[in-house]
């Protein structure tokens, strides 16, 4: 008699783990959706973000670096600080606001609740989809790390009411996310509709005129 599990057993176990992960993200997304104020949502997001370990953040940073290094210069050098801010700048601001008690005073409602609820509904399936190119890294990038991206995006777009991509972030062709008289504009705002799990579909920025 031989020990171990068959390939079929392994596939079943893996599928079970994926279902369990999806259920976990669905539960957190439901908790997010129940938030009625920006401060309440910020508190929920900070609690979830606080569960990511230093190793988790290193994996996320390593994956980001692996993606950036594939881009040509000088575009890579222009984009890199904005990409880092999108993930780790947001993470620092989120935890700082939580520790300082800022969220207690943010009693205003979430600005666009309908869009926010659609964002929360997308999260569980979005965590298992990949819009970035496959890169070879010495670590495993999992749905948990993808979920971090959605946490930071929710904080930026629905707590701070800012674009999902930072103002000034460049896109190929020399275009950037812009702010004009308090209104945000983005070249690709309406260009990602077919990618249903893209944060662009939920961003408060407006489509740049003429595109």
- The pLDDT tens digits of the residues spanning 19-44 come to 677 788 999 999 999 999 999 999 99
Separation between Cα atoms, residue 52 and residue 49, nearest integer Å? 6
Expressed as residue numbers, the domain containing 123 is 14-165
| Domain assignment present for 197 | no
Helices (H), 101-207: 113-126, 143-154
Place of tokens 């596939």: 11
- The pLDDT tens digits of the residues spanning 99-133 come to 999 999 999 999 999 999 999 999 988 887 654 44
| Domain assignment present for 204 | no
| Domain assignment present for 199 | no
| Domain assignment present for 8 | no
The most confident of the ranges 149-153, 184-188, 196-200 is: 149-153
Q: What is the DSSP string of 8-57?
A: HHHHHHHHHHHHHHHHHHHHHHHHHHT--BHHHHHHHHHHHHTT--HHHH
Q: What is the pLDDT of residue 145?
A: 82
Separation between Cα atoms, residue 5 and residue 42, nearest integer Å? 44
Q: What is the pLDDT of residue 179?
A: 86
Give Cβ neighbours of residue 176 (< 8 Å, ≥ 6 apart): 167, 168, 169, 170, 187
| Domain assignment present for 80 | yes
Q: How many domains does the chain have?
A: 1
pLDDT at 203 over 50: yes
| Domain assignment present for 144 | yes
Q: How confident is the model at residue 59 (pLDDT cuts 50, 70, 90)?
A: confident
């Amino acid at each position: 008699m031989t020990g171990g599990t068959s390939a079929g057993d392994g596939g079943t176990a893996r599928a079970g783990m994926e279902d369990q992960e999806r259920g976990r993200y669905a539960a957190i997304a439901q908790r997010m959706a129940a938030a009625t104020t920006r401060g309440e949502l910020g508190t929920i997001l900070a609690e979830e973000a606080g569960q990511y370990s230093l190793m988790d953040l290193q994996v996320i940073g390593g994956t980001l670096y692996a993606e950036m290094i594939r881009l040509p210069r000088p575009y890579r050098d222009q984009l890199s600080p904005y990409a880092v801010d999108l993930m780790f700048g947001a993470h620092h601001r989120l935890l700082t606001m939580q520790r300082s008690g800022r969220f207690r005073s943010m009693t205003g409602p979430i600005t666009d609740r309908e869009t926010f609820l659609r964002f929360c509904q997308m999260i569980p399936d979005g965590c298992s989809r990949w819009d970035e190119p496959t890169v070879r890294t010495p670590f495993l990038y999992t749905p948990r790390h993808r979920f971090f991206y959605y946490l930071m995006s929710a904080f930026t777009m629905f707590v701070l009411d800012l674009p999902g991509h930072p103002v000034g972030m460049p896109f190929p062709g020399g275009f950037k996310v812009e702010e004009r008289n308090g209104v945000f504009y983005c070249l690709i705002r309406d260009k990602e509709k077919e990618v249903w799990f893209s944060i662009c579909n939920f961003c408060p920025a407006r489509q740049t005129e003429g595109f």
